[in-house]
């Protein structure tokens, strides 16, 4: 835990360096992914200045947000959401849901949101490298799906796209998966898309160079 401050400063410096190399006007948000970290570790990183945290399991988010409810944290949900966990997630009123992976899930969310008179900020997850192990909509149908959700799900406030870089050791492949998502994002900006969530500990500098304005970092912060 004593390294958290250094880890955070180092990550922010790398984010800034990548950002400035491509775009002086963009602001890149940092979501600290705390899925492998304890509430005490989250609190320690908060005390170093970090506010936004991401979890990928509804149960963990429930438990950690309750333990830390006295702190002004901003919670992001970044995991695969199962239908039977929708109510539990909505009850937590997360700041943003990054991993909306299908129209079906959007319609289910819309029904519950409408019933509870709630809204939810969300990003459409793109399976940009077309990997069977990942969820998300295929790039070919992404624009159509985005527009369908905008039309049919008024309680979902779509803010942009999310993607996980290709699972590869070849940076060209990872870059190409980021570029695919960025090209879709550019087409959606005039429809209100303003957040492009791409980049994890191993590839966030590349993601920022490809247009990301929100990185999700876990292991390099909590080491
Ligand atoms: C775990 C996870 C991250 C963070 O991964 P690190 O490699 O630890 O930075 C980011 N995004 C998602 C969707 C994750 O599940």
- Whether the predicted pLDDT of 92 surpasses 90: yes
- Number of CB atoms found within 10 A of residue 85's CB: 17
What is the rounded average pLDDT for all residues in the chain?
97
Cβ of 35 closer than 6 Å to ligand 1, yes or no, is yes
Tell me which residue of 59, 69, 120, 64 sits closest to 95, measured CA to CA: 120
Q: How many Å lie between the centroid of ligand 1 and the Cα of residue 3?
A: 19
pLDDT at 29 over 70: yes
56 lines ligand 1 (CB under 6 A): yes
Return phi, psi of residue 124, to 5°: -80, 125
Q: What is the pLDDT of residue 108?
A: 98
For helices 171-188 and 139-152, the axis angle rounded to 10 degrees is: 30
**pLDDT tens digits for range 32-51:** 999 999 999 999 999 999 99
Give residue-wise pLDDT tens across range 99-112: 999 999 999 999 99
Q: Which of 54, 77, 163 to mutate to test the pocket of ligand 1 (most atoms within 8 A of CB)?
A: 54
- Tokens 């959401």: give the residue: 81
Q: Is the pTM for the entire model greater than 0.85?
A: yes
* Listed residue (79, 84, 71) closest to 101, CA to CA: 79
β-pairing verdict for 52-55 and 74-77: parallel
Instruction: For residues 26-36, give the mean pLDDT.
Output: 97
Burial class of 13 by CB neighbour count within 10 A (0 to 12, 13 to 18, 19+): exposed
Residue 12 burial by CB count (10 A; 0-12/13-18/19+): exposed, middle or buried? Answer: middle
Q: Which atom of ligand 1 is nearest to the CA of 217?
A: 9
| pLDDT category of residue 76 using cuts at 50, 70 and 90 | very high
Residue range 163-203, pLDDT digits in tens: 999 999 999 999 999 999 999 999 999 999 999 999 999 99
């Amino acid at each position: 835990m004593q390294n958290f401050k250094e880890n955070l400063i180092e990550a922010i410096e790398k984010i800034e360096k990548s950002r400035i190399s491509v775009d002086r006007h963009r602001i890149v948000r940092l979501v600290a992914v705390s899925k492998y970290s304890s509430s005490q570790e989250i609190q320690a990183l908060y005390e170093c200045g970090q506010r936004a945290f991401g979890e990928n399991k509804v149960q963990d988010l429930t438990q950690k947000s309750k333990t830390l409810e006295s702190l002004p944290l901003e919670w992001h949900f970044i995991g695969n959401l199962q239908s039977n966990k929708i109510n539990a997630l909505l009850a937590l009123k997360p700041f943003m849901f990054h991993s909306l992976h299908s129209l079906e899930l959007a319609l289910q969310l819309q029904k519950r949101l409408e019933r509870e008179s709630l809204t939810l900020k969300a990003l459409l997850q793109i399976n940009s490298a077309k990997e069977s192990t990942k969820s998300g909509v295929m790039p070919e149908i992404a624009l159509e799906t985005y527009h369908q959700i905008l039309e049919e799900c008024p309680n979902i406030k779509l803010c942009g796209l999310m993607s996980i870089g290709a699972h590869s050791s070849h940076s060209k492949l990872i870059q190409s998966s980021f570029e695919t998502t960025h090209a879709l994002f550019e087409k959606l900006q005039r429809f209100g898309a303003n957040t492009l969530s791409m980049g994890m500990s191993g590839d966030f500098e590349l993601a920022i160079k490809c247009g990301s304005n929100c990185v999700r970092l876990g292991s390099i912060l909590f080491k």
